[in-house]
A and B are shown apart, each in its own frame.
Chain A
Amino acid sequence: MSVGAGSALLLLIRRDLRLSFRRPEQLLQPLVFFLIVTTLFPLGLSLDLATLREVAPGVLWVGALLASLLSLDALFRSDAEDGTLEQLALSGQELTVIVIAKTVAHWLVSGAALVLVSPLIAIALGIPSTVFGTMLTSLALGTLTLSWLGSIGAGLTVGLKRGNVLLSLIVLPLAMPLLIFGAGATDRALAEVSSTGALYLLASLCVFTCTLAPFAAAAALRIALD
């Protein structure tokens, strides 16, 4: 029985989501990390609320970046360790479909969760609610792009025992342009300048990564599974 790519995609996404929800503590870790990291900045810098507001978009973005990185290592690792990944690869489904499914599922439980929590942190950092629209859009696009970039890094390091730091070393340079544009979009909204251009740029970055990353990540997995 051959399963079409579309239904395989949905099947795998549902499977990954179900597996993630079996361990809810694991889901909370990136969120808590996000909360803690973004709290560190105002504590460490001891700024008044007005100055804090100015650095807030950057702080928010760096926090989201680091929190997403935490969960990236797990993207392929558990499946690789128990042999499921090999089975999936041998199943006849395109490896790219498998990669897309796992990355989307990963974003739903990490990136999307971060986006939902971000208004709380934004308030704590003094960002006015008028900016929330731009902020949420930019974070949503940004975390999605980051999940795609991360899937490449996760695929490259899946076979390594201590691949965590190396994963960050690989993904962060690739994510720097993303950070610049993403924080820039929220910055512009804060300054009450139009951020539509920056958001479009962010969206195009997201589309560019979404289309190419699955192939790179699949190639990386093929190298690891060979």
Chain B
Amino acid sequence: MKGELLMADGWAAFWAMGGYARFVWPCFLLAFAVLLWNLWAARRYHVQARRRAQRALAMAGSDS
């Protein structure tokens, strides 16, 4: 059974989160930031590894 929609009282009630807004919203923002960081960092790590590998191959190629 679903409870009363928080938004039944309007958007203001939703953002206020029953008075706990300054605790709830930073948590969700932080979670969003952590998830984004993970995606960004993983991508960057892979790109840097590719560059290192290409450099290593280029150096090995020029020796042989």
Direct contact of A and B (CB under 8 A): no
Which residues from chain A sit less than 8 Å from chain B, CB to CB?
none
Binding site for A on B (CB under 8 A): none
